[in-house]
Structure formats: C-alpha cells, structure tokens
Chain A
Amino acid sequence: MADLASLDISFTLNGAPQTHSVAPFALLIDFLRDDLALKGTKRSCDVQVCGACTVLVDGLPVSSCTSLAADIDGKSVVTIEGLAEHGKLSPVQQAFVDHAAMQCGFCTPGMVLATTALLERHPHPTEQEIRHYLRGNICRCTGYIKILEAVKSLV
C-alpha cells in the first residue's frame, strides 16, 4: 500500500543527511520509532497535549504524534538520541541529571528537547517564559519543581 503512493523525503536527522520513502499518511512519531528505531521519542496522549513525543524540527518543538513524516522533507530533525555528542551530555541533559529533574523518565525526552528549544530562542528566559514554554510538556512524577530548578540553572 505504501509503495503505491510513497513519498521520497530528504532531511537531516541528528546532524546526518537522510533520504527515505514514507507513506503520505505516516506520522512522524511512527516513522521515527518504527522505521528508524529511534525509540526515545515517546507516545502518550496522541493528541498533542502532553509533549512526550516532542522532537525539534528546524529547532522548534513539534509534537511528532500529530505531524506527518512527509512534512520533514528539507528540514532538520533532532530527537533525544541526537543531543549527546560522543557520550557527552548536552548542557540541558546534564542539568536534568544534576537536578534530579526526572523520575519515571517517560516525559524526559520531550521535556529535555522543549527546554533545548526554549534556551535556543531565549537564552535568558524569565520564570514566566519558562513556564509558558514548557506548559505543553506534562510530567506526572516530579511536580515540575526540580525541572524548574534544572532549567533555571542554565539561565
């Protein structure tokens, strides 16, 4: 079925150029998880309210559960697997570890990527900006207290 109407897309994934064929209806989350075996992107709400499936597309946080894989053609995608370089955590990842800003870890990839995007755009966000930017990422374990601490430590 996908062969009949598949689309060729070229994009950069975690810094590396890629070309793939995808079904026009394929969701970005399924493409990443099932076709590329990048399981760090988490599925939860399916309706773009929880942020667990957040990836960065051209530096902006996007819910991959409600985005089409075809739409990343020509764009740059960063998933949680792409943040650490040569085993060295990114500053956001390191801050989350240092501040114990995770518990079950299911929201963590999305939360870390959303924070990464926040700090790219606003290197010195106010508390209000942090809250505004991250309110699309739900965490049920931490009560957000240590997440706020981690993000503020980077400002």
Chain B
Amino acid sequence: MSAAERPDRVDFLDKVTGRAAFISDLDVPGMVHGKVLRSTMPHARITGIDIDAALSMPGVIGIVTGSDLGGIDPIWGVSLKDRPLIAIDRVRYVGEPVAVVVAETEALAEEALDAVMVDYDPLPYVTEAAEALAPNAPLIHDGVQPLKDFYFKGEAKPVAGTNIFQTYAYETGDVDAAFASADRVFEDSFDFPMVYHYAMEPHCGIASFGDDGLTVWSCGQAPTAVQKVLSRIFDLPIARVRVITPLIGGGFGGKASVKIDPLVATVAWKIGRPVRICFSASESMLTARRLSATVNLKTAVSADGMLQAKSVEVLMNGGAYADTGPAVAIKAAIRAIGPYKIPNLRLRSTAVYTNTVPGAAFRSIGGPQGVWATESQMDIIADALGIDPVELRYRNMLKRGEHVRPDLTPIDVDMAEAMGLASQAMSRLDAQEPHRRIVHGTALGIADPANSPVAGVLLRLKIDGSIAVISSSIEVGQGIREVLCRVAAEQLGQPVAAVSALTPDTAIAPFDWGTGASRSSLMMALAIEDAAADIKAQIGDIAASTLGLDPARIELVAGGFTADDKRYSFADLLHPYFGIDSGELIGIGRISPRSRGGALAKAPLFWETAAGRCGITLDEDTGEIAVKRYVSVADIGRAINRTGAEGQDEGAAIMGLGHALFEELIYADGQPVNGTMIDYHVPTIDDVPAQFETVLIENGGGPGPGGMRGMGEGAILPIAPAIANALATGFGIRVKQLPLTPERVWRALQDKKDR
C-alpha cells in the first residue's frame, strides 16, 4: 500500500469493514458460556443457594458459587485484598456475582439463571459516604489487608473498625495562620455523583486452563496486573498465566486494573473447559463506576484576589470493594489544587466502603471531582470580589516551572497561554455566529498522571525491512497501535507502512504497567527509543564485523542503511551474517525509574492540563442548558498523530459534557434505580455543541521524543465547572451539585426568584 493510500491509523480498515475482532467475536475450541446471577440485595448473608433445578436444565454444564473455591485463594484486590472471586456467604452490593451458570450456549445459561434460588438474610446497608462514616454505620468489611506496591506504588491507609479504606493528608505552609489573617475566606461544598464509564463494548472474557497454564482473552487495560492477580489466585507461576488482549471496545478506566478476569478464570477452573463470559451492558454498569465525591473547599483570599491558603477536604464513596479507589482519593485532593500559586495548602481525603457498585479508575482519576469544586469556587471568589473570573485566574496562575506543590514536579506548561487561546478561539466562534444570549464560562484543569515508569517493548526488524512492535499496550480506541508504528518508524528511519503493532500477549510482550493515566504513548515512545538504539547498535556491530564498515558512518534509510555513500538493504547485512537469506534483529527497550539517569522517576513525569471555555444558553422556563459552543485547549508537547490526538481531546470533552449535564447513577433503598442503558443517558450526537474547537498546543517540553507528553484525559476536567460558571455569570445561580439537570437548574432559578 502506498503512503497516500495508508489510512490515518493501522486499525481503521478492520474497524470500518466489520473485520475487527473484539473478545465477544472470538471462538475458542471447546468453549462454553457462563452467565452471572447477581445479588438483588445491597447487603445480606447468603443462607442458601439451591442449584439443583438449574443443573438439570437443558444444556447446563455446571454452576459455580462461593462454596466452590477450595484450593484457590478466594480473596483478591489491587489496592486492598478485600474482594471475593464470587460472593462467599455474604453480598455487599446489588449486582455482586453470586453464582455463574455455565451452559452450552449463552441463551441456555441465561434461561437456567432463573432456576437458581438464593436465600438471603438482609443486613443493614449504607449507600451514602457520609452515612458510612457514622459511628453506628454497618461495617461492610470485617478487616482488609493493604497490598503494598502491588499495582500502584505505596499502600492504602484503611482505618480498622470503620468503613474507611483510605485516608490521605498533606500540608504545607501555615494554613491556619493564613486563614486567621486573610481578608476573605470562602467555604463551599461541592458534590460530584457516581457516573458510569459506558464503554460501548460490555466487559467480556474467555479463560482456558491447559498443560501450558492459564490463558485468558481479557478486556483488561492492564494485562500484567490481570496476570499477576490470576497467578496469586491460582498459585500459578506468572510465566504460566498468559493474557491476550484483542481490540477493546472502549474502557475509560472501566476496564483498568483488574475487573472480570478473576471471575471468568475461576469458572473455567471449576468447570474444566474454556469458558466465555460476556456481560450485558447493564451488568457492566454493575461492575465499576467513578467514585462520587463531596469536596469541601476553604480558601483564603486577599482583597485583590490573591489566593493565600486553601484547604481541600474530599470524601469519596468507594463502593463495596476498593479496587483503585485509594489512588483516586489521593488524586482527587491533588487535582483540586488547580494551576495556582497557593503558599499554604492542606489536603485531606477519605474514601469509604458503601453498599454500592465498586468505585474505580475513570478517565483522569479523581480529576473531574476535584476540578469541579475548585474551578467553581474560583468563579465564586471572582464574583464576590468583583474581579473578572479570567483575570482572577491570571493573577494567581503558576508560571511554567513554578510548583503546584513543593514536593511535586513544577508545572511544565504555560497555562496562561492555554487560557488565552481558549478565549481567543471562543471570540472567533462568537464572531462566526453572533448570538446575543450566549453566556460564557471558563475553567482550567491540571492533573498529575500516575505514570508508573515501568514499561518495555520489543522491536523485531525482519530481513525484508518489515518491523513488528511487540508491547503490552492495549488498543482501546486511543490509537496506540498507530502511535507505536509511527514512533518505531521514526526512530528507525523506516516508512511507517513497514511497521505493524502486534496484539498484546503477555507470553511474548515485555512487562508494562498498563494502559491508562495518559501514559502509554509516552512510555512506549521512550521504550521504543531505547529498543531502536539497541537495533542500531546491533546493525553497527554486524556491519563492522561482517561488512567491514565503520559503525559511526552508518545512517538508516528506508529499507536499509547507507555507509560511505553506498546503500545497503537489511538483507545485504543479515544474509552474510546469518549465512542464509533469513533472520531478524530484535531490539529491547526497557523503562524503569532508573532510566534516563533517573529522570523518569520524578512525579509527575508531566502535567496533563486543559483549558475550557463554553458558550451556553438557558431555557429559563425548563432549566435546560444548551451548550452552543465549546473550546478545549491543551498543551500536549508534541502530537505523534495529530488527528488522533484531536479525537482524544474531543472525546474527553464530550464525555465531560455528559458528566456536566446528565449523568448520575442514582441509588434508592439500596438499589441502583437507573442502572440500565435506557435510564442512564450519555451524550448523543444531538448533544454536541454546534461549534466545537480543539486547540492543541505543541510547545514541546514533555519527557518523550520531540518533547511529547501524554494526553487524552485532560479535556474531561474543565467542561462541567465552565458550564456552571456560565450559569452563575449569566443567570445568577450557583449550582454546586452535578449533574446540571434541568430540574436542578430550574429549582435554583426558583430559589433565586424567592430570595
């Protein structure tokens, strides 16, 4: 295929023709199907499970329950060891797996589900974080064990005898003194609801045990974490757990860390055949969600609007099992600081268990929760002091190289530039379509990605000049395979059409921490740099020993290299070296905190930032907000795939629009009341602002090749507070709870009239 015919991404042709295979499209020989019976109770003892009737139904092969786990470790986790493979004697949320019926077909398994009878003895339950903190709250876990450095570096700090599974505190400066002497102190509380990832592909997995160990076709974003957890559960050597990750139909964190693979593998282990379990979309809603949060802010400000001290107090609802909630709780507090110079800073965060769907990572963990609070309050302060909100931000803005927090890497972008570009772009949009009732709002977001600098890649340069990139970075829609191809092509001086990126498979791919936290493009680009250097060194050595060339004079060109004005193909090098006209060179790139002289160990490795500016109208009779125009700005250092980077930014912003306007997983009486695709609304094409502009700044300055940094999460941060700020500016109402539903906005309008 000529370069002109090559699509923008290596995976587009398969995807647009229906050839692309996702896990649910795979067929493993001998595979049978599992369906999950889920708890209908928020918190209960299981007093009996009657499977006899179901076992005798047509096509049913077996049924797995919590009493079948002898011989394996039935409790797992990634931050805290708190989660049973399948409910054991007790359920902790509506939707928790209680039994899995395995049958020859999915339909037969589903039919038999109804015949499994579970008796429950209800226990007191709690679904709200504040209630879970109460002294008399029902205890959801009897005791949990933190897993130090297991997935994230560090460990959670639960409080024994309570529902608290994480506590975090940070302080710098003299916060109390600053509050005591401040001209003004602002105290506000903001709420952010549970929201669901809603990847289009529901969770699905296939597991198979054999002589070579356990093989799993996983939708997990972190194959090596899946591998590690499975190896612990089944006491298998890590090398005998193989995780293959085909194309994934969206994740957004909902498939991060480890989700359904332990259950799928347990059922395959018990049944003794390959088992496929594909959740329905509604079941996926009962699998993971964003942690809801209450964020209390207390901010001291001088009369001229200079921030003097800030106290951030976060309470997060982590659901029935901690998953990566402990990390989310820390990040929510840090990401509530904002890109501002604040000399005195106090951060406190607490995350609690409740009888709800487990909270988990979601695009920019903790970010939208923290930014929602802080950026709303910035406008509250501006309004109270009579300062333009953009001007207030300029006055307090950190310059590139200044510290968000003394112990964190200084901010590596110019946020003033980003905010300025957002305003300029919005002015252009306004001029294109003048509309006198448009009201504007601005917000900024900064996040410190948990980049975990542990990664690896293999480059295999074949004798014909084709190149295979082997990594554990999964293709979840973000376009990593294209990035791998482009970076490998660039580093080896080869045409990108010569490069392919293979399906991640832990049996052959080097260890990588996982795909998330805006890290993969950056980490893999760094690893590819090293792997390409390795290959170049090998070419130099072989050229010297076999062809008598001076390695210093070798320059890679498409299909081979030149030395002393003479062109050589890779076959000209490898044929004499191997003696046959076949073979390859393998380059290894490994990234650790010690790579690049320790430079990759700094935290964060880069700042992921965003500026957003919206133009909205409001129907004051109904409370319905229409976001007419939106500008999203980010400095990503350098784009590897510009169109792909824009797509990531656009997708994140519109996902944030859903958080802002509609999305909320609602509980009543311990039950999720809108836990179906019909009841839970996400943005459709009809909700997209008529004018939308993404401005990607490529100022370099990032830690990757050409100054790139990670991206793809930032744009989700500012959109909700930007809209709320526009509401306050234009209509005098300050809504401190998301989502900004018509009812909530309408009530705020009525309250204002009543005042």
Contact = CB atoms under 8 A, between A and B. Distances in A.
Interface string B235-258: 000000000000111101000000
A68 interface: no
B601 to A, nearest CB: 31
B18 A50 contact: no
A40 B18 contact: yes
Interface stretch (B154-162, B514-522, B550-558, B649-657): B649-657
Given A44-B202, A46-B280, A137-B685, A104 B25 contact: no
Contact of A44 (B107, B201, B479): B201
Given A47-B677, A140-B198, A140-B199, A104 B19 contact: no
A46 B15 contact: no
A30 to B, nearest CB: 8
Contact of A106 (B8, B201, B479, B685): B201
Given A40-B17, A141-B477, A100 B199 contact: no
A28 interface: no
Contacts of B682: 138, 140
Given A43-B24, A140-B200, A100 B644 contact: yes
Given A97-B8, A100-B8, A142 B650 contact: yes
Contacts of A46: 280-282, 677
A132 interface: yes
Contacts of A83: 17
Given A102-B16, A104-B248, A105-B15, A145 B688 contact: yes
Interface residues of B, number: 62
Contacts of B282: 46
B643 interface: yes
A109 B200 contact: no
A50 B284 CA distance: 15
Given A50-B200, A97-B8, A103 B478 contact: yes
Interface string B198-216: 1111100000000000000
B250 A104 contact: yes
B688 A140 contact: no
Interface in A78-96: 79-81, 83-84, 89, 93, 96
A49 interface: yes
Contact of B15 (A38, A39, A102, A131): A102
B20 interface: yes
A102 B12 contact: yes
B17 A93 contact: yes
A139 to B, nearest CB: 7
A89 B13 CA distance: 9
Contacts of A40: 17-20
A52 B250 CA distance: 13
Nearest to B643: A100
A118 to B, nearest CB: 11
Contact of A39 (B16, B21, B107, B688): B21
B685 A49 contact: no
A120 interface: no
B281 A143 contact: no
A103 B13 contact: no
- The listed residue with most B CB atoms (<10 A of its CB), out of A38, A43, A97, A140, is A140
Nearest to B59: A1
B632 to A, nearest CB: 9
Interface string B682-700: 1111101010101000000
B206 to A, nearest CB: 14
A11 interface: no
B249 A143 contact: no
Given A49-B678, A97-B7, A105 B20 contact: yes
Contacts of B485: none
Contacts of A106: 22, 199-201, 249-250, 477
Contacts of B683: 143-144
A62 interface: no
A39 B655 CA distance: 27
Contacts of A49: 677-678
Contact of A105 (B7, B14, B657, B684): B14
A50 B677 contact: yes
Contacts of A50: 200, 281, 677
B730 interface: no
Contact of B685 (A1, A47, A84, A144): A144
A117 interface: no
B493 interface: no
- The listed residue with most A CB atoms (<10 A of its CB), out of B12, B22, B476, B692, is B12
A144 B688 contact: yes
B205 to A, nearest CB: 15
Contact of B17 (A84, A131, A132): A84
Given A104-B249, A134-B685, A96 B199 contact: no
A107 interface: yes
Nearest to A128: B686
Contacts of B20: 40, 105
Interface in B1-49: 7-9, 11-22, 24-25
Contacts of A107: 200
B644 A45 contact: no
Contact of A142 (B16, B107, B647): B647
Interface in B269-285: 278, 280-282
B15 A143 contact: no
A80 B18 contact: yes
A133 to B, nearest CB: 9
A38 B477 CA distance: 22
Contacts of B280: 46
Contacts of B647: 100, 103, 141-143, 145-146
A145 B692 contact: yes
Contacts of B12: 96-97, 100, 102
Interface in A8-62: 30, 33, 38-47, 49-50, 52
Interface in B125-173: none
A112 to B, nearest CB: 6
B676 interface: yes
A112 B20 CA distance: 14
A116 to B, nearest CB: 12
A104 B281 contact: no
Contact of A47 (B9, B13, B650, B678): B678
Nearest to B7: A97
Given A40-B18, A83-B17, A135-B686, A103 B692 contact: no
Contacts of B650: 142-143, 145-146
Given A105-B249, A106-B249, A140-B250, A39 B199 contact: no
A141 B650 CA distance: 8
A70 interface: no
A71 interface: no
B690 A104 contact: no
B18 A38 contact: yes
Contacts of A109: 18
Nearest to A103: B477
A49 B13 CA distance: 26
Given A40-B17, A105-B247, A146-B647, A131 B686 contact: yes
Given A39-B21, A145-B650, A145-B692, A97 B16 contact: yes
Give 6 closest A-B pairs by Cβ, nearest first.
A40-B18, A104-B477, A105-B15, A143-B654, A106-B249, A80-B18
Given A33-B25, A102-B12, A105-B15, 11 more contacts: A42-B200, A89-B13, A102-B16, A103-B250, A106-B200, A138-B682, A139-B685, A141-B647, A143-B652, A147-B685, A148-B685
26 contacts: A39-B25, A40-B20, A42-B200, A45-B677, A47-B676, A49-B678, A50-B281, A81-B18, A93-B17, A96-B16, A100-B9, A100-B12, A103-B648, A104-B200, A104-B250, A105-B477, A109-B18, A112-B16, A131-B688, A140-B197, A140-B198, A140-B651, A141-B647, A142-B651, A145-B688, A146-B643
Interface of B: 7-9, 11-22, 24-25, 58, 107, 197-202, 247-250, 252, 278, 280-282, 476-479, 643-644, 646-648, 650-655, 657, 676-678, 682-686, 688, 690, 692, 694
